[in-house]
Chain A
Amino acid sequence: MEQSVPTDNSGGLTRRKSRGSFGKTVAPYLLSLPAGVWLLLLFIVPLGAMLIQSLETCSPASGVCVMTWHWGELPSVVNLYHAQFLTSLYFAAIATLVDLVISFPIAYWIAFRGGRRKNFFLLMLLVPFFVSFIIRTVVWEFVLSNNGVVLHTLKNFHLLPQGFHVLGTSFAVIAGLAYNYLPFTALPLYVALERIDYRVLEAAYDLYATRRVGFMRVILPLTVPGIYAAFLLTFIPAFGDYVNQQILGGTANTMIGTVIQNEYTSAGDYAGGASLSLVLLAIALVGIFAYARVLGSRTIEQYL
């Protein structure tokens, strides 16, 4: 009460100051409001809607869904499609491992030996992103096709039997996944390696560490958060991917993404699709929370 009296009586300066402090109080909320509302309504709310939808029952003919509190949907779709989940898990895991092995040396080379051309090499790693994901996959389909450049040439020299084919096999799908997600692995690894303070490594060498020991006991441990970030950023999208399987893999070895896509777009079974999506999300969340728990949620953003 007493405080409000001088504020009312004093000149513009104090008034402005008080408005300024009010502005400062609401500023963070005002600044984050538009993006926050957008993400709430179009990211969080749909996930909630998906949860509700998974409890409904949909009629495949009309595509109309009615809430029936059908708790059995989730276990039944997992049971029905566990083979596709396992296939996705298997393909994504192998592709991610291949990517980690392929990209570690190049990330290491760019980080430690890139010199002034670092930006150029990083751009080269990002080059695939400048061409549409679908087009890249389609080009691989052509390259790997039976009469494509690679197989045709090898068959001409009788290095491969005439009946040999790549398209339609698990190998083609894994190769496609590994290609498409390689930059997602290489960049976090680069960031992690780039951050290493070289003096730490020099200290190890000064203390008579061999190069092998320096690598195993200094570089590798310091890169662990980056390796895990690379793993997540590659594995999660690869796990939900279905484009590679559909274009390169043919009809065999269906991945779970294809099943979800069919449930939503051709079967009209939103309840089944929502349940499968939830399981997919849950698997991704396990990995993300494990990361956040061990290494903190802020750290992964450093690798993006």
Chain B
Amino acid sequence: MSVISQTIKDTAESPAGAPFIKKRRWGRFVLPTYSWLVIAYLVFPIAMMIIYSFNKVIGGMQLVSFTWNGFTTQWYHEWSSVPGLTAAFWLSIRLAVVSTILATILGTLLAVALVRYHPPRFKGKGVIEQVLFLNIAAPEIVMGSSLLGLFVMMNINRGFVTLVLAHVMFCIAYVTVTVRARMSGFDRALEEAAYDLGARPLVTFFRITLPLIMPGVIAGALMAFALSIDDFVTSYFVGGSSIPFPVWVYGATRVGIPPQVFVFGTGIFAVGIGFAVLSIVVAKKKV
């Protein structure tokens, strides 16, 4: 009963109702089939990665091959038996955590400033917006190579610190844009109520503003984490002797990929999907 009434409500509400019913075949069959094919295409290499992380390896060198030799969980047991790869993985995790925290704080503060204040009171807002835009649109190789040039010019040793500097740099704009988008419906009356009740600005920020914009901040932080852990180009240029996971894998493509790469890839994928699903579920509950 409830299902039926729900369906009726859906069709009644659906703005797509009338015009689509006539050409049912296109809307109901061709487009969905096509869309599922595209999704299959997007998912295909990931499925291959997961499947082949369970593939046996025949021969002396422990490198992945794409002939199926039988199922094994050996690589999951021996996930840490390639020292360079494990070190690179943990470096990537540390790098992503540090960069995400810094970029989320800086990006959120900037987003608050951009949503709140406008030109007469906030000169230079336009310039900041253009810089953010340029930062997102600029080719990564340009950012990476120019940073390398600067570090070489100034005789700065490349390593973990330069990686953090670079990662925060390219994450800030994404955090700001994400937080700002989520702040657009923000009700300022709630803050004013806090002020009227005698709350000081900092108290208001931490007790009222921050909890309200938290979903946006979390979305921004997830974005920053994903960007940082996946980054290859910039890390390749500014990492020096510190080699994050993607850079290690890139280096390994010339000699052969150990199956553990796929194990780490599958692990990162599972955690990422887990967080994404969680954030969707949480967002739905709030609504």
Residues of chain A touching chain B, judged by Cβ–Cβ distance below 8 Å, are 20, 23-25, 27-29, 31-32, 34-36, 38-39, 42-47, 49-50, 52-53, 63, 65, 102-103, 105-106, 108-110, 112-113, 115, 119-121, 123-136, 138-143, 145, 147-149, 179, 182-183, 198-199, 201-202, 205, 211, 214, 232-233, 236-237, 239-243, 247, 257, 260-261, 264-265, 270, 273-274, 277, 280-281, 284-285, 288, 292, 297-298, 300-302, 304
From 230 to 249 in chain B, residues with beta carbon under 8 angstroms from any chain A beta carbon are 230, 232-233, 236-237, 245-246, 249
B23 at the A/B interface (Cβ < 8 Å)? yes
Chain A residues near B141: list those with CB within 8 A.
240-242, 257, 260-261, 277, 280
Chain B residues near A29: list those with CB within 8 A.
113, 122
CA distance A113 to B15 in the complex (A): 10
From 35 to 88 in chain B, residues with beta carbon under 8 angstroms from any chain A beta carbon are 35, 38-39, 41-46, 48-49, 52, 64, 66-67
CA distance A113 to B34 in the complex (A): 13
- Taking CB as reference atom, which chain A residue is nearest B201? A23
Chain A residues near B23: list those with CB within 8 A.
211
CA distance A257 to B233 in the complex (A): 10
- 7 CB contacts below 8 A, A to B, read A39-B135, A49-B146, A109-B35, A110-B35, A138-B249, A142-B52, A273-B145
Chain A residues near B265: list those with CB within 8 A.
131-132, 135
What is the interface of chain A mostly: helix, strand, loop, or mixed?
helix
B224 at the A/B interface (Cβ < 8 Å)? no
CA distance A103 to B262 in the complex (A): 28
B121, B133, B138, B201: the one within 8 Å of A297 (CB): B133
From 241 to 261 in chain B, residues with beta carbon under 8 angstroms from any chain A beta carbon are 245-246, 249-250, 253, 257, 261
Chain B residues near A273: list those with CB within 8 A.
145, 149
Interface string of B256-284 (1 = CB under 8 A from A): 01000110010011001100110010011
B137 at the A/B interface (Cβ < 8 Å)? yes
From 201 to 241 in chain B, residues with beta carbon under 8 angstroms from any chain A beta carbon are 201, 226, 229-230, 232-233, 236-237
Instruction: Verify A102–B143 contact, CB threshold 8 A.
Output: no
- Taking CB as reference atom, which chain B residue is nearest A281? B142
Chain B residues near A102: list those with CB within 8 A.
38
Chain B residues near A301: list those with CB within 8 A.
129, 132-133, 136, 177, 180-181
Given A23-B201, A35-B109, A49-B150, also A239-B39 (CB < 8 A): no
- In order of increasing CB-CB distance, the 9 nearest A-B pairs are A240-B139, A130-B272, A31-B113, A28-B117, A46-B146, A28-B122, A198-B15, A35-B110, A35-B106
B19 at the A/B interface (Cβ < 8 Å)? yes
Instruction: Verify B113–A142 contact, CB threshold 8 A.
Output: no
From 113 to 139 in chain B, residues with beta carbon under 8 angstroms from any chain A beta carbon are 113-114, 116-117, 121-122, 125, 128-139
CA distance A266 to B16 in the complex (A): 57
CA distance A247 to B48 in the complex (A): 17
Residue count of chain B within 8 Å CB distance of chain A: 101
Interface string of B168-191 (1 = CB under 8 A from A): 110011101100110000000000
CA distance A95 to B70 in the complex (A): 36
Task: Beyond the given A28-B117, A130-B276, please list 5 additional residue pairs across the A-B interface where CB-CB is below 8 A.
Answer: A38-B106, A49-B149, A49-B153, A127-B42, A135-B246
CA distance A108 to B166 in the complex (A): 36
Chain A residues near B250: list those with CB within 8 A.
134, 243
CA distance A301 to B135 in the complex (A): 12
Q: How far is the CB of A223 from chain B (nearest CB, A)?
A: 16
Q: How far is the CB of B136 from chain A (nearest CB, A)?
A: 6
CA distance A261 to B268 in the complex (A): 28
Q: How far is the CB of A261 from chain B (nearest CB, A)?
A: 7
Chain A residues near B168: list those with CB within 8 A.
38, 42
- Taking CB as reference atom, which chain B residue is nearest A33? B109
CA distance A237 to B138 in the complex (A): 8
Instruction: Verify B139–A129 contact, CB threshold 8 A.
Output: no
CA distance A295 to B217 in the complex (A): 28
Chain B residues near A47: list those with CB within 8 A.
142, 146
B95 at the A/B interface (Cβ < 8 Å)? no
Given A113-B16, A131-B265, A198-B16, also A270-B31 (CB < 8 A): no
Instruction: Verify A284–B139 contact, CB threshold 8 A.
Output: yes
CA distance A183 to B41 in the complex (A): 12
Q: How far is the CB of A259 from chain B (nearest CB, A)?
A: 10
Chain A residues near B137: list those with CB within 8 A.
232-233, 236, 284, 288, 300
Chain B residues near A103: list those with CB within 8 A.
38
Instruction: Verify B64–A38 contact, CB threshold 8 A.
Output: no
- Taking CB as reference atom, which chain A residue is nearest B272? A130
Chain B residues near A182: list those with CB within 8 A.
38, 42
CA distance A301 to B27 in the complex (A): 30
Chain A residues near B276: list those with CB within 8 A.
123, 126, 130
Instruction: Verify B249–A135 contact, CB threshold 8 A.
Output: yes
Given A32-B128, A233-B137, A270-B149, also A128-B16 (CB < 8 A): no
Instruction: Verify B277–A123 contact, CB threshold 8 A.
Output: yes
B192 at the A/B interface (Cβ < 8 Å)? no
Instruction: Verify B122–A43 contact, CB threshold 8 A.
Output: no
Instruction: Verify B15–A202 contact, CB threshold 8 A.
Output: yes
Residue among A112, A126, A264, A297 with max Cβ neighbours from chain B (10 Å) = A264
Instruction: Verify B246–A106 contact, CB threshold 8 A.
Output: no
Instruction: Verify A148–B131 contact, CB threshold 8 A.
Output: no
B8 at the A/B interface (Cβ < 8 Å)? no
